[in-house]
Structure 1
Amino acid sequence: MEVLELARWQFGITTVYHFLMVPLTIGLSILVAAMQTRWVRTGELRHLKMTKFWGKLLLVNFAMGVVTGIVQEFQFGMNWSAYSRFVGDVFGAPLAMEGLVAFFVESTFLGLWIFGWDRLPKKVHLACAWAFSLATMASAYFILAANSWMQHPVGVTFENGKPTMNSIWAVLTNNTALAAIPHTLAGAFSVAAAFLVGVAGWHLWRRGDHADVWRSSLRLGGWVGVAAFAVLAITGDTQGKLMFEQQPMKMASAEALCHTEQPASFSIIAIGDVAGSNCEDVKTFNVPALLSFLAHNDFKTEVKGVEDLITEYQAKYGTNYPDDPALGSLAGKPIDYVPNLPVTYWGFRMMIGFGAVSAGIGVLALWLTRRGRVPGSRWFPWLVLGGVATPFLGNSAGWIFTEMGRQPFVVVPNPTGVDGVWMFTAQAVSRLTTGEVWTSLIALTTVYAALGVVELYLMRKYVRGGVDAVMPPKKPDDSDKPGEDTLAFAY
Structure 2
Amino acid sequence: MDATLDLARLQFALTAGAHFLFVALTLGLATVVACLQTRATFSGNPAHRRMVRFWGQLYVINYAVGIVTGLVMEFQFGLSWSGLTRVAGNVFGAALAMETLVAFFVESTFLGLWIFGWDRLNRWAHLAVIWVVTLTAYASALWILVANGFLQNPVGYRRDADGLRLTDAAAVLTNPSALTAFFHILAAALLTAGVFLAGVSAYHLFRRTADTAFYTSSLRIGVFLALPAAFLTAVSGGVQFGVVADAQPMKIAAFSGDSAEMARLRAELTARFGPGDYAPPEWARTAGVWMFALFGLLLFLLLGSALLAASKRVVRGFRLWHLALMAAVPLPFAAMIAGWLFREGGRQPWVIYEVLTTADAVSPVSPGAMRASLVTFTALFGVLIAVNYWLLARAAARGPDAVALGRPAEEPRPEPAATY
**Normalising by the residue count of structure 1, what TM-score does the alignment of the two structures yield?**
0.81
Q: Distance in 2 between matches of 1:339 and 1:436?
A: 27
Tell me the amino acid that sits aligned with residue 248 of structure 2.
Q
Q: Are 2:278 and 1:314 aligned?
A: no
The structural deviation recorded for 1:371 is 2.8
Tell me the amino acid that sits aligned with residue 304 of structure 2.
L
What corresponds to 1:128 in structure 2?
Answer: 129
Tell me the amino acid that sits aligned with residue 404 of structure 1.
G
The structural deviation recorded for 1:348 is 1.2
The structural deviation recorded for 1:381 is 2.8
- Aligned partners of 2:216 and 2:316 also within 8 Å: no
Write the deviation string for residues 395-438 of structure 1: whole angstroms up to 9, x where unpaired. 0000000000000111003xxxxxxxx01111100110111011
Tell me the amino acid that sits aligned with residue 467 of structure 1.
P
What corresponds to 2:207 in structure 1?
Answer: 206
What corresponds to 2:11 in structure 1?
Answer: 10
What corresponds to 2:50 in structure 1?
Answer: 49
- Aligned partners of 2:230 and 2:299 also within 8 Å: yes
**Normalising by the residue count of structure 2, what TM-score does the alignment of the two structures yield?**
0.94
Write the deviation string for residues 145-178 of structure 1: whole angstroms up to 9, x where unpaired. 0000001111111111521001222111111111
Q: Distance in 2 between matches of 1:159 and 1:474?
A: 65
What corresponds to 2:389 in structure 1?
Answer: 456
Q: Which has the higher helix share?
A: 2
Q: Are 2:356 and 1:423 aligned?
A: yes
- Aligned partners of 2:211 and 2:417 also within 8 Å: no
Q: Are 2:197 and 1:256 aligned?
A: no
The structural deviation recorded for 1:312 is 0.9
What corresponds to 1:389 in structure 2?
Answer: 330
The structural deviation recorded for 1:479 is 5.7
> Where in structure 2 are there 5+ consecutive unaligned residues?
none
What corresponds to 2:289 in structure 1?
Answer: 349
Kindly tell me: are residues 359 and 43 of structure 1, through their superposed partners in 2, closer, same or farther at Cα, counting changes over 3 Å? Answer: farther
Kindly tell me: are residues 465 and 306 of structure 1, through their superposed partners in 2, closer, same or farther at Cα, counting changes over 3 Å? Answer: same
* Aligned residues between the structures: 412
Write the deviation string for residues 326-362 of structure 1: whole angstroms up to 9, x where unpaired. xxxxxxxxx1111112x22221121122223223323
Kindly tell me: are residues 481 and 210 of structure 1, through their superposed partners in 2, closer, same or farther at Cα, counting changes over 3 Å? Answer: closer
Tell me the amino acid that sits aligned with residue 219 of structure 1.
R
Kindly tell me: are residues 42 and 339 of structure 1, through their superposed partners in 2, closer, same or farther at Cα, counting changes over 3 Å? Answer: same
The structural deviation recorded for 1:108 is 0.9
Query: SS at the partner of 1:440?
Result: helix
Q: Which has the higher contact order (CA 8 A, sep 6+)?
A: 2
What corresponds to 2:89 in structure 1?
Answer: 88
Kindly tell me: are residues 241 and 167 of structure 1, through their superposed partners in 2, closer, same or farther at Cα, counting changes over 3 Å? Answer: same
Q: How does 1:468-487 map to 2 (within 5 A)?
A: 468-470=401-403, 480=417
Of 340, 349, 369, which aligns to 2:309? 369
Write the deviation string for residues 241-285 of structure 1: whole angstroms up to 9, x where unpaired. 1111110100011122212xxxxxxxxxxxxxxxxxxxxxxxxxx
Kindly tell me: are residues 463 and 101 of structure 1, through their superposed partners in 2, closer, same or farther at Cα, counting changes over 3 Å? Answer: closer
Q: Distance in 1 between matches of 2:79 and 2:266?
A: 32
Q: Distance in 2 between matches of 1:464 and 1:171?
A: 45
Q: Are 2:313 and 1:380 aligned?
A: no
Q: Distance in 2 between matches of 1:123 and 1:13?
A: 41
Q: How does 1:163-174 map to 2 (within 5 A)?
A: 163-174=164-175
The structural deviation recorded for 1:363 is 2.9
Kindly tell me: are residues 481 and 159 of structure 1, through their superposed partners in 2, closer, same or farther at Cα, counting changes over 3 Å? Answer: same
- Aligned partners of 1:109 and 1:131 also within 8 Å: yes
Q: Distance in 2 between matches of 1:454 and 1:17?
A: 13
Write the deviation string for residues 99-143 of structure 1: whole angstroms up to 9, x where unpaired. 223542211110000000021010101111110011101000000
The structural deviation recorded for 1:231 is 1.1
Query: SS at the partner of 1:164?
Result: strand
Percent of residue pairs bearing the same amino acid type: 40
> Where in structure 1 are there 5+ consecutive unaligned residues?
260-304, 320-334, 414-421, 483-491
The structural deviation recorded for 1:207 is 2.7
Q: Answer with 463-472 or 128-137: which moved more.
A: 463-472
- Aligned partners of 1:225 and 1:358 also within 8 Å: no
Q: Distance in 1 between matches of 2:416 and 2:186?
A: 40
Let me know the Cα RMSD of the aligned residues: 1.8
The structural deviation recorded for 1:377 is 4.1
Tell me the amino acid that sits aligned with residue 387 of structure 1.
A
Kindly tell me: are residues 199 and 481 of structure 1, through their superposed partners in 2, closer, same or farther at Cα, counting changes over 3 Å? Answer: closer
Q: Answer with 353-362 or 215-224: which moved more.
A: 353-362
